[in-house]
Amino acid sequence: MDHFIYKNGVLHAEDVSLTEIAASVGTPFYVYSTATLERHFAVFDEALEGLDHKIFYAMKANGNLAVLRTLAAMGAGMDVVSGGEYAKARAAGVPGEHIVFSGVGKTEAEMWQVLNGGIRQFNVESEPELRQLSRVASAMGKVAAITLRVNPDVDAKTHAKIATGKSENKFGIPMAKAREAYKEAASLPGIEVVGIDVHIGSQLTDLEPYRQAFTKVAELTEQLRADGHNIHRLDLGGGLGIPYERSNEAPPLPVEYGQVIKETVGHLGCEIEIEPGRLIAGNAGLLVSEVVYLKHGEGRDFLIIDAAMNDLVRPAMYEAHHDIVPVSEPEAGVEPTPLDIVGPVCESGDTFAKQRAMPPLKAGDLVAFRSAGAYGAVMASEYNARPLIPEVLVKGDQFAVVRARPTYEEMISRDTLPSWMES
């Protein structure tokens, strides 16, 4: 469910016309719906009703401060994967005890940063990281609460670049080595074992891989408790998929995901932590772009828009599909035509869709990319010296720019010339 619908022939974000936003901030831009963010968080919270649980939003999906503040006000904690994300979470008003720190390459500097600032737990990914954290925590006179991320060798049946739970992936400690790793963790100074962490991938559209992974986690919990470890938290990760193609069958609902959690680990008396990102933010955002040209090619036509692969890299990186719709509602019965929808970047990879059936469009028309709220703005770059595009948050009939488009002068000022080049 989202809050982007046609009203009086124009696509709106809640009660704000996208044409109004475009006239104010220019194109391209991202726009997010507060009501959708809040609704998606609430759906996850309701799915875990009856369990002692906490939802940690995976802010790598969308790290805008206004988005973080919106979710924090709903009771969300944050799952961070870098010192920069930790700093943004704190800047958004999230206390350290509501933050978990994940990621395979945590540096010594990041460990110092978050131990000094406060953290709920580290989701530790390897034995070398565990030993480094012990050294840092001991040097600071602190105790770091940890889970160990285990790799259950479960095929998440998702894109290879976002699968994280198979034995060949870089993430976590193999399940067969887990008891040995926990034994070492319990022996190290500055370390407190509190639970188990698992995350098998992103954009999952089948619940069976979750059931397999969580069943293995339940078995490991019993084994570790028998070994004398106080396992009282289970961080089950995130990854539930969203419907990028509205014509396709919808992925499982959060309530169904919650039921799998209850059936597999609900009997253990652990606090359940989950880390959804995409499902909360994905359908809460659109990318809006303007048509620059309609180009007639050899055997195909190209719709050239002012958004590019640097603004939304998912199609180029993952061969990802986004539904693309006109902002002005097409008349009933209008015959669509196949178009290649492309951006202005000087690469053939700057292609959003090939032979996509679209209603008649011309220069100056606006189009909207649905399901662009996750892994859109956060993965953007200034490739081809194209400024990062604005992000806009809507709440009811109000909208505000929550990240401005930099000017060319601001972009250029970040570079400095060495002394020998100064005139």
pLDDT digits (tens, 9 = 90+) for 196-219: 999 988 788 889 989 999 999 999
CATH number of the domain that 309 lies in?
A: 2.40.37.10
Summarize the confidence of residues 336-340 as an average pLDDT. Answer: 96
For residue 419, being part of any structural domain is answered with no
Summarize the confidence of residues 46-53 as an average pLDDT. Answer: 96
196/256 same-domain check? yes
Residues labelled as active-site residues: 346
Binned at pLDDT 50, 70 and 90, residue 85 comes out as: very high
Residue 339 β-bridge partners: 356
366/402 same-domain check? yes
266/337 same-domain check? no
Summarize the confidence of residues 89-97 as an average pLDDT. Answer: 98
In whole numbers, what is the pLDDT of the chain averaged over residues? 93
Burial class (CB in 10 A: 0-12, 13-18, 19+), 380: buried
199/104 same-domain check? yes
250/353 same-domain check? no
Summarize the confidence of residues 87-111 as an average pLDDT. Answer: 97
For residue 421, being part of any structural domain is answered with no
Confidence (pLDDT) at 157: 54
Residue 418 backbone dihedrals phi, psi, to 5 degrees: -65, 160
Domain boundary among 250, 281, 312: 281
Is the confidence at residue 160, as pLDDT, over 60? no
Q: Please identify which residue in the block is written with the tokens 């190209």.
A: 302
247/324 same-domain check? no
For residue 393, being part of any structural domain is answered with yes
Confidence (pLDDT) at 251: 83
Q: How many domains does the chain have?
A: 2
305/225 same-domain check? no
Binned at pLDDT 50, 70 and 90, residue 247 comes out as: low
Is the confidence at residue 125, as pLDDT, over 80? yes
Of the candidates 243, 303, 342, 254, the residue with the CA atom closest to the CA atom of residue 48? 254
Task: Determine what percent of the chain is predicted with pLDDT higher than 90.
Answer: 86
Confidence (pLDDT) at 332: 85
pLDDT digits over 314-329, tens only?
999 999 999 999 999 9
Is the confidence at residue 133, as pLDDT, over 90? yes
CATH number of the domain that 58 lies in?
A: 3.20.20.10
Binned at pLDDT 50, 70 and 90, residue 161 comes out as: very low
Confidence (pLDDT) at 306: 98
Domain boundary among 230, 258, 281: 281
For residue 88, being part of any structural domain is answered with yes
240/252 same-domain check? yes
For residue 422, being part of any structural domain is answered with no
- Position with higher pLDDT, 25 vs 2: 25
232/318 same-domain check? no
Confidence (pLDDT) at 244: 86
Summarize the confidence of residues 122-144 as an average pLDDT. Answer: 97
**Cα separation, 423 vs 417, whole angstroms:** 10
Domain boundary among 281, 316, 335: 281
Is the confidence at residue 359, as pLDDT, over 90? yes
Binned at pLDDT 50, 70 and 90, residue 193 comes out as: very high
15/66 same-domain check? no
Angle at alpha carbon of residue 79, lines to 370 and 101, rounded to 5° = 145
Q: Please identify which residue in the block is written with the tokens 């080049």.
A: 421
Residue 392 β-bridge partners: 31, 401
Binned at pLDDT 50, 70 and 90, residue 165 comes out as: very low
For residue 245, being part of any structural domain is answered with yes
Binned at pLDDT 50, 70 and 90, residue 170 comes out as: low
For residue 418, being part of any structural domain is answered with no
For residue 405, being part of any structural domain is answered with yes
364/288 same-domain check? yes
Is the confidence at residue 226, as pLDDT, over 70? yes
**Cα separation, 165 vs 64, whole angstroms:** 28
Across 33-42, 66-75, 245-254, least confident range: 245-254
- Angle between helical axes of 254-265 and 208-226 (0-180°, round to 10): 30
Please tell me whether the peptide bond between 360 and the residue prior to it is cis, using omega within 30 degrees of 0: no
What residues make up the domain containing 75?
A: 34-281
Confidence (pLDDT) at 137: 98
Confidence (pLDDT) at 423: 67
Residue 159 backbone dihedrals phi, psi, to 5 degrees: -60, 140
297/274 same-domain check? no
**Cα separation, 209 vs 219, whole angstroms:** 16
